[in-house]
Structures are given as structure tokens and as C-alpha cells.
Amino acid sequence: MIRAEHLVKEFSRPRRVEGRLSGIRSFLSTQKIVSRAVDDVSLQVDDGEIVGYLGPNGAGKSTTIKMLTGILVPTSGHIEVEGIVPWQDRRANALNIGAVFGQRTQLWTDLPLRESFELISRLYGLDRADFRRSLDQFVDLLDMGPFMDTSVRSLSLGQRMRGDLVAAMLYRPPVLYLDEPTVGLDVVAKVRIREFIAEQNRTEGTTVLLTTHDIADIEHLARRVVIIDEGRILYDGDLASLRTRYAPYREIVVRAPQVPEDLRVDGPELTGTRPDGDDLLATFRFDPEVISAPAAIQRITSALEVTDITSREPGVEDVIRQIYLDGEARR
Amino acid sequence: MSAAAPGRLVPARLGTAVGARGLLACAGQAWRAQFVFRAATWSGIIGATLQVVLVMLVWTAVYGARTEVAGVDQRDAITYAVLGAVVAIVFQPFVYDTLYGRLRTGAIAFDVMRPLSAVPMTLAQQAGAAAAQLPAAGIALGVGLLLGALDAPGSRLSGLAFALSILLGFTLAQILNFMIGLVGFWTLEVSGAFHIYRMFVQFSSGALIPLWFMPDWLSGGLSLLPFSSQVFVPLTIYVDPAPGMHTLTALGVQALWVLVLAVLAALLWRRAIRRLVIFGG
């Protein structure tokens, strides 16, 4: 179980001095700028749960994960992972957690992939038989046989990422942190990694905290999401209610030969038109709490001559984009 | 919590024996990584051999017809020079990619979340990489022996004292190399610092030129620094025909340097790791 309470992380950097000799004066200056990367974050991930941790770049996701893994010491707040305060007892914590940071690798670059696993098994004091069984199973699941003896520096990104996943899970830690495990991968590689994570969660009951910019990762893996921006939690709850809470609207797209500029429909609101072939596509949105879908369609079709009509619900991706954009607008 | 939960493969805490095996594995990994590039291995061997032959030729030429310069016997000077070249290959290798490489790729973040502390892990890797220079050093030494450039120790006791002294020197070299690697926590780039250090230490440790031949002010100054304890002190003990109190004192000074620098390295590491844990990887 991962438990974080009122987590705060501040970074301070020297203030840059403007004007003449700014370089030297900045170097000598003792003034500091303090920024809060994580601001009062509380979150709990229960045993066997997969939680998606989302937010735009620079929102504080990685900083949170680094604190949870014990790499970073929080400015204030409390963390417990499997009953251990990570930064106070890094070594005991290390035996409970595995981590994949998609942007960097924990593998030893000069040697064949196999050697990295060998070394990790020794570092974690794995029994030889357990190690072989674990490794064989992973190699099989992730189809890694063909490149086990290739040096890590020659692996493709997808192969390396599979290697990193196995490195993080070889000793079957109860808690797994995955920071962008699918970044830069092609569709097939992404699906393979998703399936693997889901499988480990199902069979081993692994607790997973996952950050990603690919919403499909979340839709396939996580029932619950936590959204963070500017260091603060904006949403913590299940994926389904995220949609109803942040995007109550439904959309209707109609194809019409012409759309008058001053078109007004009672209820559904025209949000945009764009040309498509000889016709125009007009998008209306409405709140199903206020007006039912048949009524909305009926009002649109009576106001406008349409040749085709489709209705769609906003996807999670739209919802999250909206949340990020709202955040940007506030800044 | 103490017993492994069902399905759990690792204990809640690692025992000492497991930790030691882990460190051994780190050293072995660093050792093997040194032999990945076959061309580099061969050029290392050829370079080492060439160096031994060259210093032998140079010192023979310097002495010319004389048997003694600045109170130093020709045989001793050549023995010293050959041993110095061999020792430098192991003590001051071109390897700075254990800590440095991990810093540059950001893998250092993983090193601080291992069940073993990062310092012993790094030192074990460094020792493994240094040990990987042994084949090249051994071949160079063999060539030196074949050419008759190497005399036996000054006395049996000198040989014993040398064995202890060279171990202390090796420890000292490892600590200093580790500290140079730590510079990367502040600069993120240590190859420059390492090259400067390597040039400086080859000179000031006496690996290139014995301190005997330097002007008094310079040799006096250098013998106050820890670098001379790396190479100059052990080799002086080696060629010394009459070891005595001064040998014990020299060993004592070496041990003292090991202690002082180990403490300094620990302090520096604490600062470095604080930088990492406060500012992020």
C-alpha cells in the first residue's frame, strides 16, 4: 500500500540578477527563488490497485514518484510504502518496490541484457531457482529470447523498455512505480507492455502507480485516476465519473449543405463548423441533464436541413485535455 | 514483516552475506564491462607494454655511463620506473565510467534505491574495473622481467613491507578516484576533471618521475600530499635495501592518509547525495 499525506516538495534555485555583470552577481547572490513542485498532495493506493497518475508536463508527477521511491526527501508531509518511510529507510524500501522511468534506464549499458538481470538478482539476494523461474517466465511473456544476449546499448527502445520492466519486477516487489513506461513506443509495443502490466497485477496482486501521457494506457489499465497540476491534486476518483464531472456535455455532429451564420437552436449550442467535401460539418453540444438526446436532435433537424447525423460522448482524452487547458488558462 | 510473505521472493532486509555477494557481482560486472570492446583491451595491453619498454630505454639513456645520479643507483631507478608504469596502469586507469556514466544517464537515481548502499556498490565497481587492468599490467610486468629491467626487492623484509604498502596505495588510489567521480554531482561532466587529475596524480604520485630527482622544495611539497603515498612510498620501500623505523613511519603515514581521505570522501558523498535527494536526479 502506498500512502502519502500532505506531501510538499520545494525546490530553491539562486535568483538571477539582471543588469551589468549579471553572471558574477548571480553567482555571488544569496537570494533564492523557491518553487513548489508538489503542494499538499495526499493520496493512497491500496494493495493490488492500479492508479493512473496524470498531469501535464511539469505538473509534479515525477517529483511525487521520486519522493515515493525514496530518491527525494520531501520538504514536508508523510509517506509510507508497505509500512516503511522510503527516504528514511531506502534499503528496506528498495526490496518492496520496483520502478521504471521511461526516460532513463537502470540497465548496465555495455553488457548483454542477460547480465543486468543476473546482477539485479544478486543485488536483491534472489534464490537461484527463483531467479531462473522468474526470468524464464518474463522472457517468455515479453518475448525477449531473441535479444537476451544483445548488449543493452544496441537494443531498440521497445526492447530496452521490456528489459527495464523485467529489471523492476524480477524480485516480484509488491509495489511498482511506472513513470511513462510506454513513452516513444509503437502501438504493438505499447499493447504488449500494457498486457504485461495487467497480467502481473492480476496474478501477483502488484500495486501499481502509473504515469503516462497516453490515455489509452490509463483506459486499459486503471480504474482510478489522480490528476495533478501545478503540484496540486485536481481530481482523484474513478475514470467513469471523471467524464460526468468534467465533461457533462454530449456532442452532435451534423452534415449539412449549408449552415447559416446566425443559426440559433433552442437547447443545443453550435460550437463550430468546418468544411468537409462539398458539405459542412456542424458540431452542437448539449447537456443531457437539461435536454434529452432525441429532443436535441429533433430541434437541430427542424432548424437545419441535414444529410447525416452522429452523436458522440467526449472521450477521456478530451476531458483531460480540457482539464489541462483550464489549468493553463488559470496561469 | 520479518518472514517472507507468501509469493515474496526477497527478505524484508538483506543479510551481510547476501550483501557481500551483491558487491562481488558488482565488481564482476565492472570487470566484464572492461573487456567488452576487444580493440580497447588489446590497445590497453600494447600501450602498457610499450610504456614499460619506453621508460626502461629512457632511464637507461639518462644514466648513460653513470651508475649513480642524485644518490640513486641506476638499477634502482630503472626498477622503480618500470614498476611505476605498471602500477599507474592499475591505479590510474582511463576508467571513469562507473559513477560518471551512471550520473550522465541518470541511472544514479536507481543506484540510490537499491537494497545495497551506493558507496560500497560504486567502490566495488571501481575495484572491478581496476582489477580488469591487471592482465595488461601483468603482461607489461612480464615483458619488463624478460628484458631484465626489474630487480628483486631490496631485501626480503622490503618485499613484505612493499606488499602491505602497495595495498594501502591501491586503497588510497581508489578513494581518490571515487572522490573525483563525485565531482560529477556538481558539474555533471567529469571527464575533464578526471584528465587533469590523472595528469597531476601521475606526476605528483611519483609514477612518472621518482620524487628523488625533483628539487627539494618540490619533492618536499609533494611528500606532504597524499598522492605520493599512492606510488612513490611503496616503490621506495621496494628498492630499499635496509628497511627499518623509516619504513614503519612511511606505512603509518599511508594508513593515516587512507583514514583521512576516507572520512573526507564520506563527507563529500553525503553532500553529493544530499544534492541528489534535494534537487532530484
ipTM of the assembly?
Answer: 0.80
Strands A32-45 and A2-14: antiparallel
CA distance A55 to A58: 8
Chain B, nearest residue to A167 by Cα: B110
Residue A330 has a pLDDT of: 72
Query: Which chain A residue has the Cα nearest residue B21?
Result: A122
Chain A closest-CA separation from residue B208 CA (Å): 32
Residue B152's pLDDT band, with cuts at 50, 70 and 90, is confident
Do residues A122 and B25 touch, judged by C-beta distance below 8 A?
yes
Average pLDDT, chain B: 84
Provide the pLDDT for residue A197. 94
pLDDT tens for residues A68-83?
Answer: 998 888 999 999 999 9
Closest CA to A57 of A229, A286, A313: A229
Q: What is the pTM of this model?
A: 0.82
Chain B interface residues (partner A, CB cutoff 8 A): 1, 5, 7-15, 18-19, 21-22, 24-26, 29, 32-33, 36, 101, 105-107, 109-110, 112-117, 121, 276-281
The residues, ordered by sequence, that sit 6+ positions from B252 with a Cβ below 8 Å of its Cβ are none
What mean pLDDT comes out for the span B52-63? 89
Centroid of chain to Cα A267: 36
Contacts of B35 in chain A (CB under 8 A): none
Kindly give, in sequence order, each residue whose CB lies less than 8 Å from that of residue A265, ignoring residues fewer than 6 positions away: A284, A299, A300, A303, A304
Beta carbons of B115 and A124 less than 8 Å apart: yes
- Residue A41 pLDDT class (50, 70, 90 cuts): very high
Domain A2-244, second-level architecture: 3-Layer(aba) Sandwich (3.40)
All residues of chain B having their beta carbon less than 8 Å from the beta carbon of residue A174 are 5, 8
A172 and B CB contact within 8 Å: yes
Please spell the DSSP secondary structure of B30-54, one letter per residue: HHHHTTSSHHHHHHHHHHHHHHHHH
Q: Do A91 and B105 touch (CB under 8 A)?
A: no
- Worst-scoring range by mean pLDDT, A305-319, B184-198, B207-221? B184-198
Q: Does A204 touch chain B (CB under 8 A)?
A: yes
Tens digits of per-residue pLDDT, A81-127?
Answer: 999 999 889 889 999 999 999 888 899 888 899 999 999 999 999 99
Query: Mind listing the pLDDT tens digit for each residue in A173-187?
Result: 999 999 999 988 888
Domain ranges within chain A, ordered by starting residue: 2-244, 249-313
Express each pLDDT in A248-283 by its tens digit: 788 899 998 888 878 888 888 888 888 888 888 998
Q: How high does pLDDT run on average in chain A?
A: 88
Nearest CA in chain B to A134: B9
What does the pLDDT read at residue B5? 47
Query: Which of A65, A89, A122 to substitute to test the interface with B, most B CBs within 10 Å?
Result: A122
**Rounded-to-integer distance, Cα B198 and Cα B111, Å:** 26
Q: How far apart are CA B206 and CA B229, in angstroms?
A: 9
Q: Does A91 touch chain B (CB under 8 A)?
A: yes
The shortest CB-CB distance from A71 to any of B12, B36, B277 is to B277
| Domain A249-313: CATH architecture, name and number where available | 2-Layer Sandwich (3.30)
pLDDT per residue as tens digits for the range B105-135:
777 888 888 998 888 888 898 889 888 889 9
Determine the average pLDDT of the residues in B145-158. Answer: 86
